[in-house]
Amino acid sequence: MLKGKIEDINLVNLIQMLAQEGKTGKLTVHRDELMVGEVGLREGRLVYAKQEQLSGEKAFLRVMNLDRGEFVFEEGFETEETNISGSLEMLLLEAVRKKDEARQRKQVILNKIKTLLENKNFEVLVSEKYYDLFLNFNKIGEVVDGGKVQYIWIDKKEQNSFLLTCSPFVIEVRFKQKIHPEEIYQLISRSELIEDF
């Protein structure tokens, strides 16, 4: 059994190493004690991936782009299900490309937010911390009225936070003074920033 933190070991490199060694087993990724993804190998070939509602290649790409969490590789555990038949090398290249695109997109969005809110007293943080919250709200929205959650507003006495999702991360804008959420949403939506998400 191999265990570790995604922050310490790049998942793309880990899968590549396991494949080169011809391993059979299951890689499970957990975040905050919840299972968020699985990847199955059979004799070094990628055969299976699942990530929340996704399965197959899309799930594999999403798992490879997780930035935090813990992983466990159980050698010898063989899944009977097969939902991937594509080339591992091509999928790993695609995962790296998507991660680079996400990093660039994140920087563009951060720059736009800083320009847009230059006269406000705020700080900007980027994390996956609230991403699962957006996913859960969107699941509820699909069932209730088909709507998609554009933003989440957290109102605290000492500060307000405006959260925007930008898969697979969330941008949190923390305001140090009282401010109305609709004012910020209108500023951001007029700038077409939300369409970047």
Where is average pLDDT lowest: 27-41, 68-82, 98-112?
A: 98-112
% of the chain with per-residue pLDDT over 90: 36
pLDDT at 195 over 60: no
What pLDDT, in 10s, does the model give residues 122-133? 888 877 677 777
pLDDT, position 106: 79
Which tops the pLDDT comparison, 140 or 97?
97
Domain end, chosen from 37, 57, 86, is at 86
Residue 2 pairs in a beta bridge with: 73
Domain end, chosen from 86, 121, 145, is at 86
Q: 196: pLDDT confidence band, cut at 50, 70 and 90?
A: very low
- The answer to whether the beta carbons of residues 7 and 68 sit under 8 Å apart is yes
* 91 assigned to some structural domain: no
Do 49 and 9 lie in one domain? The reply is yes
Query: How many domains, in total, are found in the chain?
Result: 2
pTM: 0.72
Do 70 and 124 lie in one domain? The reply is no
pLDDT at 197 over 50: no
The CB density around residue 170, as the number of other CB atoms within 10 Å, is: 21
| Residue 80 domain boundaries | 2-86
* 190 assigned to some structural domain: yes
Q: Is 116 exposed, middle or buried (0-12, 13-18, 19+ CB in 10 A)?
A: middle
Q: Is 194 exposed, middle or buried (0-12, 13-18, 19+ CB in 10 A)?
A: middle
pLDDT at 39 over 80: yes
CB within 8 Å of 9: residues ≥ 6 apart: 71
Which tops the pLDDT comparison, 172 or 48?
48
What pLDDT, in 10s, does the model give residues 142-187? 777 767 777 788 887 777 888 877 766 788 888 877 777 777 777 7
CA dihedral of residues 153, 156, 160, 166 (deg, nearest 10)? -40
